Structure 1
Amino acid sequence: MVNKITVVGAGNVGATAAQRIAEKELARTVVMVDVAEGIPQGKGLDQWQSAPIEGFDSRVIGTNGYDETVDSDIVVITAGIARKPGMSRDDLLNTNAGIVKSVGEAIKKTSPNAIVIVVSNPLDVMCWVAKEATGFPKERVIGMAGVLDTARYRAFLATAMDVSVRDIQAMVLGGHGDTMVPLISYTTVSGIPITQLMDKATLDAIVDRTRNGGAEIVKHLKTGSAYYAPSSGAVQMVEAIVNDQKRILPCSAWLEGEYGEKGIFLGVPVKLGRKGIEKIIDVSLTADEKAALAKSAQAVREPMSVVKL
C-alpha cells in the first residue's frame, strides 16, 4: 500500500479504476479528479460508502482541483473524450492532447515524484504528450495498452477453444490501434504452442478481432466505449508497481533504440516494479512480427508529427 493514488477523469474508466484500486487497498487515499463539478465528489462518496460492505479501508474522495492530489505516488490519467461509432482513436488526437497536456502540467507541480500511467487515447501519442508536459524520466511515464489488448486476445482464444483464460499465455505489442501486433510465436496454452491447437484461418480471425476489439464494443454501446477491461488493465499495472511485483507486462514505453525504434512510445514487454519501468525486455521476433511492429511504430509517428505542444 502507498499513501495516495490519483485517478484523473471520473468517467467510466476512471471511476471503475478508482473503485478497483480502493477495493484492492493499494493506497490509503484514492483521489478522483474531474472538471465536471459534483461528478467526482458524488462518485467518490458513493464508492466510500461501499467500503463497509466490500470491506476496504482505502478512503475515496472526489475533487475538481489538484490540491487534494499533492504528493500522489501514482497518477492514472483517463481524462479525455471517448470514442463514438465510426471514430478512430486518432480522431481524438487534438482534443485529448490539450487535455493531457494540462493534466501533465498539473501533475508536475503537485506530484513531482509520481509514476504516471496513461490510459487516454490515442494512447501512445498521449504518453508522449504526458512525458513532455511533466518532464518526468521515461521510467515514470507508462501507457496502458498492451495489457488490455493482450487480455482481449486471451479472452477470444479462450472462447474459441473453450478453455480457461488462466492457461493462455500471450502478448500483444505495438501501438494501441489497428496495427497492434499479437505475437503468435509467443502464444501458448499451458506451454503448448497455439499453432498446434488452432488452424491458421481461425487464429487469423482472432488476431483481426483483437485489433478491432475496442471498435467492436463501441459499435455495441453506440454512446460510449469500453471501461471494465481498460480499468482492469490500468489497475493491474498499479498493483505491480505498488507491490513491487516485478511483473513482465506489455506496456507502452519510451524507446531509445529497443526494437529498432527511437523517440517513440510503443507497446513492448517491460518489468514493472516500485520505481516504474525497471527494464524493457527485448525479445526475438519472427520476420513477419518485426515488419508488423515497424508498421505499427510508423502508425504512431504520423499523428505525433501534427501535435502542437
Structure 2
Amino acid sequence: MLASRIQRRAFSASARNLSKVAVLGAAGGIGQPLSLLLKLNTRVTELALYDIRGGPGVAADISHVNTKSTVKGYDPTPSGLAEALKGSDIVLIPAGVPRKPGMTRDDLFNTNASIVRDLAKAVAESAPEAKLLIISNPVNSTVPICAEVFKARGVYNPKKLFGVTTLDVVRASRFVSEIKGTDPKDENITVIGGHSGVTIVPLFSQSNHPELSSNAELVNRVQFGGDEVVKAKDGAGSATLSMAFAGARMADALLRAADGEKGVIEPTFVESPLYKDQGIEFFSTNVELGPNGVEKIHPIGNIDANEQKLVEACLGDLKKNIAKGVAFVQENPGN
C-alpha cells in the first residue's frame, strides 16, 4: 500500500510548504500507524503526538525513522495538549475507545463524543486556524460536535472541518478491483453520504463498471466493511490499519492542496449545501481542496434508480446522526 497513492504523490516529492501536523490519540490502534505514515510524508516538517498515555513513547519510536521531519510527544496535561496544538497546520483526531463487551452503542457514543468535544475545545483555543480532520467514530455525529464547539467559541470555519470518509472509497476501489481483476488505483469510485452503514452510498453507476450498482452484495460490503474486519479480528479490534492509511491519504491531499497543487479532490464529510433544504447540514461527496481547505463541493451528479433508493435511506439516518451530535453538545457543554 505504501507504494501507492501517498508514496507516489508525497513521499518522493520535493517538499515546499512544510507543515506541522498534530495527532490527538497518537498511541491508539489508529494513531500509531497514522503517525508512522505521516512521518514518511516529506511535506510534514514537524509531527506532534499527543495521547492520554504513551504519546512520548510512540514519538521516541517513530522519531528513529530516517526521514527529515522532527517528532515530539507531549505530556497528557492541558499545557502539553496546548503545546502540541500550537502552530499546527493540520490536526487529526483518531482518539476514542473501541466498543467493549457489554458496552451499548449509546455507551460508546457518549464516551467518544465527550473525548472529541474536549479535544475540539483545545483545538479551538490553541489552533483555531488549523484544518481539523475527524476520524473518531461515529463521524456522522462527531463532526457536528466539533462544529458546535467551534461555533460556541466564535472560531468556526466550515472550510477547515473535515470528517474522514476516505476509507469508504479505499474499500470500494479495492473490492471492485478484486471482482474485475484490475489495479485499485484505476478504479475511481465515488462514495457519498456519511460514514456508517446505510449512510455510505457508493456510486458505481459513475465508475468504469456501472453494472455494479445492482450488485447488492458489493454495495453491502462497502457499507459494512468495518464489520468484516471486526469479525476477522475476533473481537480484538476494528479497522485500524486501513483507517490509518485513509487518514494519511486525506492529510496528504490537504498538504498537496496547500502546496498549490490544483485539482486535488477527495471525498469528505463537510458542511454542505447539497441537502440543507432537508435539514441535513453535513454531507460527504467529492470535495475540491485548496490552500484554505474546502475549495468546491461537487454535486452528486447523475445516479441510477438503485442508487437513488440508497440515497433516500442514507438521508433519514444521516439527519438523525447529525442531530444527535448537535444535541450532545447542547446537553453536555462540558467545562
Q: TM-score range by the shorter chain?
A: 0.7 to 0.9
Question: Partners in 2 of 1:251 and 1:304 — Cα distance?
Answer: 15
Q: Is the 8 A contact 1:84 1:223 kept in 2?
A: no
Q: Is the 8 A contact 2:22 2:84 kept in 1?
A: no
Cα distance, 1:291–1:137 mapped onto 2, change above 3 Å: farther
Name which of 36, 47, 62 aligns with 1:47: 62
TM-score by length of 2: 0.81
Q: Is the 8 A contact 2:204 2:213 kept in 1?
A: no
Name which of 178, 185, 192 aligns with 1:159: 178
Amino acid at match of 2:21: I
Name which of 264, 269, 287 aligns with 1:270: 287
Cα distance, 1:279–1:84 mapped onto 2, change above 3 Å: farther
1:204 aligns with 2:224: no
Question: Partners in 1 of 2:101 and 2:288 — Cα distance?
Answer: 35
Q: Per-residue deviation at 1:249?
A: 1.5
Question: Partners in 2 of 1:258 and 1:305 — Cα distance?
Answer: 14
Q: Per-residue deviation at 1:225?
A: 1.0
Name which of 89, 93, 115 aligns with 1:99: 115
Match of 2:95, SS state, is coil
TM-score by length of 1: 0.88
Cα distance, 1:252–1:90 mapped onto 2, change above 3 Å: farther
Q: Which has the larger strand fraction? A: 1
Name which of 219, 243, 246 aligns with 1:230: 243
Q: Is the 8 A contact 1:84 1:218 kept in 2?
A: no
Q: Is the 8 A contact 2:93 2:135 kept in 1?
A: yes
1:28 aligns with 2:41: no
1:255 aligns with 2:272: yes
Q: Is the 8 A contact 1:76 1:118 kept in 2?
A: yes
Question: Partners in 2 of 1:223 and 1:130 — Cα distance?
Answer: 29
Question: Partners in 2 of 1:301 and 1:264 — Cα distance?
Answer: 8
1:149 aligns with 2:168: yes
Q: Per-residue deviation at 1:298?
A: 1.9
Gaps of 5+ in 2: 1-16, 330-335
Question: Partners in 2 of 1:166 and 1:86 — Cα distance?
Answer: 40
1:127 aligns with 2:139: no
Q: Per-residue deviation at 1:293?
A: 2.0
Q: Per-residue deviation at 1:2?
A: 3.0
Q: Per-residue deviation at 1:69?
A: 2.2
Question: Partners in 2 of 1:178 and 1:91 — Cα distance?
Answer: 19
> What percentage of aligned pairs have identical amino acids?
27
Q: Deviations over 1:120-163 (max 9, x none)?
A: 10012101111111232111101101x21011111111112222
Q: Is the 8 A contact 2:213 2:306 kept in 1?
A: no
Question: Partners in 2 of 1:106 and 1:260 — Cα distance?
Answer: 32
Gaps of 5+ in 1: none
